[in-house]
Amino acid sequence: MDTPRIPAAVAALIGLLAVLAALGAGHLAAGLLEPNASPYLAVGNAAIDLTPAVVKDFAVRTFGTADKLVLLLGMAVVLAGLGALAGLLSRTRPLPGQVLAVALGVLGGLAVYTRPDVGQLGLLAPAVSLFAGLGVFSWLHGRALAVRAAEPATEARRRFLLGSVAIAAGAGLSGLAGQLLGRRVDVAASQDAVAAVLPRAAKAPAIPPGADFAADGTPSFLTRNADFYRIDTALSVPRLRAEDWQLRVHGMVERELRLSFDDLVKRPLVERTITLTCVSNEVGGPYVSTATFTGVDLRELLLEAGVRPGADQLATTSSDGWTCGTPLSVLLEPDRGALLAIGMNGEPLPAEHGFPVRMVTPGLYGYVGATKWITEAEVTTFAAFSPYWIRRGWGKLGPIKTQSRVDKPAGFARVPAGRVVVAGTAWAQHTGVSTVEVRMDKGPWREATLSSESNVDTWRMWRIEFDLAPGGHNVECRATDRSGYVQTAERAEVLPDGATGWHSIFFTVT
């Protein structure tokens, strides 16, 4: 008698449904226990941590702020493929698929175990995921073989189909429930409470009239919170309540400090308008934004703790375990103005931008001076500790480079003949922009009109007009900062410490 053999399409479906069941059950268990214990998210975070810097740069360059979504979708495709493969290898007996299911379960468990922000209870989530996937695979495999063996197969086939539909629906509902449960921390109510303390802050100087040329195509001077760029490693945004937040300042200090959120906001609050830039920003790129941040002066906090001789780095850690190292020489400058920020543009920090507390350091790229969801600050040395991105080949100091870009016309735009307005943005945080020059079609450099300056820690807009004949044209820009440094034409990639080069745009006059 021939051994019953499950049809290939049915076998692949069994493997796929087992994967869905495992993911749904694991996500639901994580939602009930610890959101970051979801095996799916933990594997994704592990993938981010293990990704070489050049691959990470490619992802940001290619997909922008959708890089995390692309990663999750890519993982889903891979898992679906592995599930289908497990089914195809198990057309006559379930063992090959069961072995693969166990291997994937162990991988998820290891990913969760190595997460710094997941406790021992969180390990139940990958265990639930493993048993759900293994159980569904074994049950469906048995049902499918029963269909092949049954004479007639109508009733057995009906039970198999109903079971498959029920498993698919259950997996979807479990995943959705886990997602909703993972967001059950009432951050909104906590943000409302924080909003009440923001008006106490010493106000930043008013933004001067003429601070942007938005009517000519530049960004508005202040970036709306919803539009502020976001580049970080968090697949799942940490959801911390202010009332649960604590910061430990320790290491090479005279006295260790432990601060609750109430302790923090009892200190003098100040507003500072600051432009932040991501080191992944290519020449002409979009990862630069400006906001008025509200918070506590970080230098004063460090002076209170008492920095010991020999210390040269402040190593900060976020609630999800990400680490950052900031030169202490920068943070201790009397006029630097680094903050432990709690507010952004008059509102509590959005969760995506570090609520309840984040670090903001004018003049440094975010990877060395803008830790979100900060919970620990250790005064140490660069020799003793290498932060997250430094271990991946990035420069340890991270000063923002003088840059400029053309915002209008857009690349390959078609504009009417006659007088053409060219407008853009320049930045040289903590030094200030003194001039921007523009040239058309490799002609002479002309000085553009600058917008009003708010302070040296913020960007400046520029505009200039040209009378252009019909045809193709190429425009370039370069900035000079207040130190006299002229933006270099030499092209450099973002790795290891920021891109350089002149931004150019080709457009057509019609």
What ranges do the domains of the chain cover?
A: 8-182, 192-392, 403-509
Q: CA–CA separation, 2 vs 13, rounded Å? A: 23
- 69: confidence class by pLDDT, cuts 50, 70, 90: confident
> Residues 409-416: what's their mean pLDDT?
95
State residue 365's pLDDT score: 98
- Report the range of poorest mean pLDDT among 140-149, 267-276, 367-376: 140-149
Indicate whether 2 pLDDT > 70: no
Average pLDDT over residues 136-146: 90
Domain 403-509 has what CATH class? mainly beta
Average pLDDT over residues 467-489: 97
Average pLDDT over residues 3-32: 90
Q: pLDDT at position 402, please?
A: 98
Same fold, 192-392 and 403-509: no
How many residues appear in the chain? Answer: 510
Pull the structure tokens for residue 298.
């970080």
Please name which of 383, 340, 377, 338 lies closest in space to residue 250, comparing C-alpha atoms.
Answer: 377
Express the helix, strand and coil content of the chain in percent, nearest 5 each: 40, 25, 35
Distance, in Å, from the CA atom of 470 to the CA atom of 125, rounded to the nearest integer, reads 64
- Range 90-115 average pLDDT: 91
Query: Does the pLDDT value for residue 293 go beyond 70?
Result: yes
Dist. CA 291–CA 271, nearest whole Å = 10
What is residue 210's three-state secondary structure?
coil
Higher pLDDT: 252 or 66? It is 252
Q: Look at residue 51 in the predicted model and tell me its pLDDT.
A: 79
Question: Is residue 1 over pLDDT 60?
Answer: no
pLDDT band at 119 (very low <50, low <70, confident <90, very high): confident
How far is 242 from 342, CA to CA, in rounded Å? Answer: 10
Per-residue model confidence (pLDDT) at position 504: 98
Give the residues across from 316 on adjacent strands.
Answer: 324, 377
The CA-based angle 375-240-129, given to 5 degrees, is 105
Among 57-66, 116-125, 397-406, 499-508, the range scoring the smallest mean pLDDT is 57-66
Q: Higher model confidence: residue 284 or residue 186?
A: 284
Question: What is the third-level CATH fold of 192-392?
Answer: Sulfite Oxidase; Chain A, domain 2 (3.90.420)
Please state the rounded mean pLDDT for residues 139-151.
Answer: 81
- Predicted confidence (pLDDT) per residue in 218-228, tens digit: 999 999 999 99
What would the 3-class secondary structure string for 367-386 be?
Answer: HHHCCCCEEEEEEECCCCCC
Return the residue matching tokens 């390990």: 123
- The mean pLDDT of 363-388, rounded to a whole number, is 97
Mean pLDDT computed over every residue of the chain: 93
* pLDDT tens profile 168-191: 888 889 888 888 887 667 788 999
- State the pTM of this model: 0.87
Res. 151: pLDDT tops 60: no
pLDDT at residue number 165? 87
The share of the chain scoring above pLDDT 70, in percent, equals 98
> Which pair of tokens denotes residue 215?
């009517």
